[in-house]
Amino acid sequence: MASFWSGYVLPLVIIVAEIVLIVGPVMLGVAYLTYAERKVMGAIQMRQGPNLVGPFGLLQPIADGIKLLGKEMIFPAGANPAIFIGAPVMTFLLALVAWAVIPFDAGIVLADINVGVLYLYAISSLGVYGIVMAGWASNSKYAFLGGLRSAAQMVSYEVSIGFVMITVLLCVGSLNLSKIVLAQQTVWFCIPLFPMFIIFFVSALAETNRAPFDLPEGESEIVAGFFVEYSAMAYALFMLAEYGNMILMSAITTILFLGGWLPPFNVVPFIWVPGIIWFAIKIAFILFVFLWVRATVPRYRYDQLMRLGWKVFLPFSLVWVVLTAGVLVGFGWLPKNIG
């Protein structure tokens, strides 16, 4: 009995506890990212934002969640019930499972696998299926066209994201996310790879359907894209997935270009701060830029969005990959520890 407990039950309990310790803060961050967005946009637009529910409006996300839980969920008459419900659930779960390979600090990661970058890229690619499923299952031509448009947008910018990741991997020689962070102890990759850093961030805006690429959620349009037929908690799951993906893309940006948990300077006042705090500060900075862009940049037309992805980002990132490989080989800087 003791061997069964120590061999099977205890490891399972530890894994579940680790998952809860990751998912809990992420979900809390998602809830208060909505509050932060409304406050930041309010400040930029010279208004107050949420300020009535609780002190400084801090209970507004809780009130919004209770309201959505209490709403009636409406099913379109011709919708496919299983896929109609499965699409937001799948989209939401994919936004959570990617956190399994994110290193929060040295040794603090749920699964420190050697193909962490491929895992993240695979999970982000699967997000397209939830959107297409939602558009098709709604049995609405507007939702279906919105789903196709959203899928085309996400696929277009995933190509550029892939080339950016290849550039970083060439400099590191490993697909392991912890090794990518440790490779930036001398200099963060946002400095030597600055153009790719910008391309990755802009592509992250398009990948998460954020302004100025929020075509799937055009507030000025008659319908709201693939989730136009959704209401109550099904709609909330799409929003939770969107904000969860924002935090996830900020974390990936931090790992690839901003040194992950590493302090900005290796001096005494900075190294006293725990690495997980530096990681959270960098994520918060990237998220602030997400919100700043939404409040200041007007929405692109769809043809402008596709032109930027295919005619600007794709050829530029491809040329930069070749240039980076040439420089690394020419100067003998190509990493030897491929793994």
Domain boundaries, the chain: 72-330
pLDDT at 189 over 90: yes
The number of residues in the chain equals 339
- What are the phi and psi torsion angles at 208 (to 5°)? -95, 10
pLDDT at position 63: 93
Q: How many degrees, rounded to 5, is the angle at CA 27 between CA 201 and CA 48?
A: 75
Greatest mean pLDDT among 144-158, 223-237, 313-327 lies in: 313-327
Using CA atoms, how far apart are residues 339 and 337, in angstroms rounded to an integer?
Answer: 6
Write out the two tokens for 192.
């030597």
Q: Which of 160, 96, 83, 161 is nearest to 129 (CA)?
A: 83
What tens digit of pLDDT does each residue of 75-90 get? 888 888 899 999 999 9
CA distance 295 to 292: 5
**256 pLDDT tier (thresholds 50, 70, 90):** very high
Give me the pLDDT at residue 339, please: 43
What sign for the dihedral angle of Cα 291, 56, 32, 87?
negative
* Contact status, residue 184 vs residue 267, Cβ threshold 8 Å: no
pLDDT in tens, 303-312: 899 999 999 9
Q: CB within 8 A of 12, min separation 6: which ones?
A: none
Q: Please, what is the average pLDDT of the chain?
A: 89
**Collapsed DSSP state (helix, strand, coil) of residue 108:** strand
Q: Among candidates 194, 269, 234, which has minimal Cα distance to 84?
A: 234
Backbone dihedral angles phi then psi of residue 331, each to the nearest 5 degrees? -95, 5
**pLDDT beyond 80 at 219:** no
Q: Band the pLDDT of 155: cuts 50, 70, 90.
A: confident
Task: Report pLDDT for 323.
Answer: 94
N-to-C CA span, the chain: 40
Q: Examine the pLDDT at 6 and tell me if it is beyond 70.
A: no
- Could you tell me which residues are beta bridge partners of residue 108? 105
Distance, CA of 295 to CA of 43 (rounded, Å) = 10
Q: Are 218 and 212 in contact (CB under 8 A)?
A: no
Rounded Cα gap, residues 25 and 211, in angstroms: 25
Going by the DSSP 8-state scheme, the letter that residue 105 receives in this structure is B
pTM for the model: 0.93
- What is the pLDDT at residue 318? 94
Place of tokens 């529910």: 53
